Structure 1
Amino acid sequence: MDMNKTPELNRLTLGFVPLLDAALLVIARERGFFAAQGIDVSLSRENAWSTLRDKVAAGLLDGAQMLSPMPLAMSLGLERAPCDALAPITLSRNGNAFVLSTSLCEQSGAALGSEPAASARALGNWLGQGRRPRLAMVYPFSCQHYLLREWLALGGIDPDRDVELVVLPPPRMVTALSEGQIDGFCAGEPWGSLAEHYRVGRLVASGAQLWPEHPEKVLGVTHSWAHHYPATLAALIRALVAASEWLAETPENRRQALAWLALPPYLDRSVNHLDSLPLDTAPIHQRLYGPGVLRPDVEAMGRIAEQLNRSLRHVERSLDIPALHECYSPVHFDAAMHQ
């Protein structure tokens, strides 16, 4: 199939949640990479992952930035009716932060270090003396949820007994922490650094320390959409690759990307505390560019698939391996890039 033919759609809408790893979508629109591929893309800000998921499934969005486990969870019918979905390009790797409230850090002695187990053990030692903390993650089938559970286990903490886990949209995290509604969270940037900036929380570990180079966000589309609009999908992939390559070129480009992210339709004031786009710096190590970053990789989904399989065992199901391979196959990416 010729992926260089004219896109079947010349106007489409993609959803995103306000996080730094929406950057490639924003760059591709603002820098004109979508337009260069013959597509006029509108970006729709959605504050909750469940809303974004449902809009893609219903055809109200052509596709969206998604949590990397989400296309597979949709295909397996977890938390909603099954909807076959694909992740034809990775948008980011790493990028998550574990944050505890400033008061909880002071009481427990939990602090950021080279080994994430140290902060988890500090919290675990404190639990015997204090109350049961409430910790937030962004979505049940997310790296943030799975990483949070794994980090707690490093400290001997049972995530189902010793703490209360709740779901909150990323933009709600810092306010909820400041108001005492939660005692900590795991979320993507800029929300962890914003909590530190406002001095309501402190970073105690990162996802990159636990699962280095894990796929974090992907572009998600339904299988039906990809089947009906293959040239449009190829154009989207090429535009996002061009955005990634442009971002890698110079620090000036990364500063310009941050300026675009700071526009009101995107992340607005939530990035005002950042002097530059803090990519691939310790401890977050967020990756939006570089060799192999964007190409889908089933093997890299291994830790995530293992966690999803555990979720399925609770309802006496097992992971559908063919569905896993179809969701994260590089076939669409390779066809678009002629690899």
Structure 2
Amino acid sequence: MSAPELERMTLGFIPLIDAALPIIAREAGFFTAEGIEVTLSRENAWSTLRDKLASGLLDSAHLLSPMPLAMSLGLSRAPCETLAPLILGRGGNTIVLSRRWSQGMHAIAEDRDPRCNAQAFAARLADHHGEPPRLAMVYPYSCQHYQLREWLASGDIDIQRRIQLSVMPPQRMVEAMANGAIDGFCVGEPWGSLAQHRDLGSIVASGAQCWPGHPEKVLGVTAAWALRYPATLAALIRALHKAGQWLAASPDNARRALDWLALPPYLDRSVAHLAALAPPTAPAWQNLIGDPRPSAEIMSHVAEHLDQHMHESGRALDMHTLSTCYSPAHFDAATHQ
């Protein structure tokens, strides 16, 4: 193995449970063992993270899984060819409605159809004649946005007429619901379970129910960075892969990782209500230890949504861009698969 070209680098993240592998890799020494010193930079919004990665202010980032493709296609900003060489987590999204709108709805469970609560929401809306409820999601090109839209559509809810959709950083959503600024949201953990823990609302559906096993977060690097620093990228992939293996090795490791996430530079008090780190059960069905190898095939559902955006501007998604963004080549080379 070649020595990393960089001794120091910066990885940006948003405070979410699925930032766990970079945090573990730093705290448990997996980055150091690969010969790189990684600074973790907590960012406030996905758009900020996107722009810093594209401009070179960050070497790599914890990204929403559709973001590398959206960045490569130039959606919302100038095109920047971006790669997703490793999956950081699956599942973890929850759809939360305020107490007013979720009253009487079913608690979600493995044997519950999430459409039942969508239909109950539609029935409430039919009797509502005031201002449409305000629902937030984290970024226009995100699984949260698409899953929220699909859930609403499953209740035959006219989103254009009956819902006000807005974009909001994950860490602001619970307080926004507490002060009445929004009536619901779709977000990654721990923010959905925290809202329910504080009795501000209820989790009425899960992204993992809508899209079972779908990648939610990925490691992101620009193609130019990957070309310039291939040995550093390989070291980064190996360290994160080893962090996942370490996390899966024992419950004690998972408890220790939760303690690390609770440190002030990371998620701080937002995880204080959690008894375990990302249990693969309701309500979020979050999985941080699944197969980290990316592929274009497992991103096909997201690609369909992005293709719709492209058609709106007279363009079409090409398979080469999709395959390049989510190619397993860098992962396979780094892990000798």
- Taking structure 2 as the reference length, what is the TM-score of the superposition? 0.97
Q: Trace 1:78-227 onto structure 2 (pairs within 5 A).
A: 78-106=75-103, 109-113=104-108, 114-130=112-128, 131=130, 132-227=132-227
Q: CA–CA distance in 1 between the matches of 2:106 and 2:316?
A: 37
Tell me the residue number matched to 2:11: 14
Q: Do the aligned partners of 1:112 and 1:119 also contact (CA within 8 Å) in 2? A: no
- Compute the displacement of 1:317 (Å): 1.4
Tell me the residue number matched to 1:325: 323
- Compute the displacement of 1:316 (Å): 1.5
- Compute the displacement of 1:128 (Å): 1.4
- Compute the displacement of 1:209 (Å): 0.5
- Compute the displacement of 1:160 (Å): 2.2
Q: Secondary structure at the match of 1:147?
A: helix
| 1:92-141 deviation per Cα after TM superposition (whole angstroms, max 9, x unaligned) | 011100000011112xx333331100000000111111131110000000
Q: Secondary structure at the match of 1:161?
A: helix
Q: CA–CA distance in 2 between the matches of 1:158 and 1:232?
A: 48
Tell me the residue number matched to 1:71: 68
Tell me the residue number matched to 1:231: 231
Tell me the residue number matched to 1:306: 304
Q: CA–CA distance in 2 between the matches of 1:110 and 1:176?
A: 22
Residue 338 of structure 1 aligns with an amino acid whose one-letter code is H
Tell me the residue number matched to 1:47: 44
- Compute the displacement of 1:47 (Å): 1.5
Residue 294 of structure 1 aligns with an amino acid whose one-letter code is P
Q: CA–CA distance in 1 between the matches of 2:124 and 2:312?
A: 30
Residue correspondences, number: 332
Q: CA–CA distance in 1 between the matches of 2:193 and 2:283?
A: 11
Q: CA–CA distance in 1 between the matches of 2:158 and 2:327?
A: 35
- Compute the displacement of 1:275 (Å): 1.5
- Compute the displacement of 1:283 (Å): 3.2
| 1:31-87 deviation per Cα after TM superposition (whole angstroms, max 9, x unaligned) | 000000000000000020000000000000001000000011000000000001000
Tell me the residue number matched to 1:253: 253
Residue 318 of structure 1 aligns with an amino acid whose one-letter code is A
Q: Secondary structure at the match of 1:264?
A: coil
Residue 220 of structure 1 aligns with an amino acid whose one-letter code is G
Q: CA–CA distance in 2 between the matches of 1:110 and 1:307?
A: 29
Q: Which runs of 5+ in 1 are unaligned?
A: none
- Compute the displacement of 1:310 (Å): 1.1
- Compute the displacement of 1:276 (Å): 1.6
Q: Secondary structure at the match of 2:160?
A: coil
Alignment pair present for 1:316 and 2:314:
yes
| 1:288-322 deviation per Cα after TM superposition (whole angstroms, max 9, x unaligned) | 113xx200021110111111111112112111211
- Compute the displacement of 1:211 (Å): 0.4
- Compute the displacement of 1:226 (Å): 0.2
Q: CA–CA distance in 2 between the matches of 1:171 and 1:283?
A: 19
Q: Secondary structure at the match of 2:148?
A: helix
| 1:208-260 deviation per Cα after TM superposition (whole angstroms, max 9, x unaligned) | 10100001000000000000000000000000010000000111100000000
Tell me the residue number matched to 1:338: 336
Q: CA–CA distance in 2 between the matches of 1:38 and 1:305?
A: 36
Tell me the residue number matched to 2:24: 27
Q: CA–CA distance in 2 between the matches of 1:199 and 1:238?
A: 41
Q: Do the aligned partners of 1:110 and 1:120 also contact (CA within 8 Å) in 2? A: no
| 1:271-296 deviation per Cα after TM superposition (whole angstroms, max 9, x unaligned) | 01112213211232111113xx2000
- Compute the displacement of 1:176 (Å): 0.4
Q: CA–CA distance in 2 between the matches of 1:88 and 1:317?
A: 26
Q: Do the aligned partners of 1:121 and 1:155 also contact (CA within 8 Å) in 2? A: yes
Q: Do the aligned partners of 1:85 and 1:221 also contact (CA within 8 Å) in 2? A: yes
- Compute the displacement of 1:174 (Å): 0.2
Q: Do the aligned partners of 1:116 and 1:151 also contact (CA within 8 Å) in 2? A: yes
Q: CA–CA distance in 2 between the matches of 1:140 and 1:66?
A: 13
Q: Percent identity?
A: 62
Alignment pair present for 1:289 and 2:289:
yes
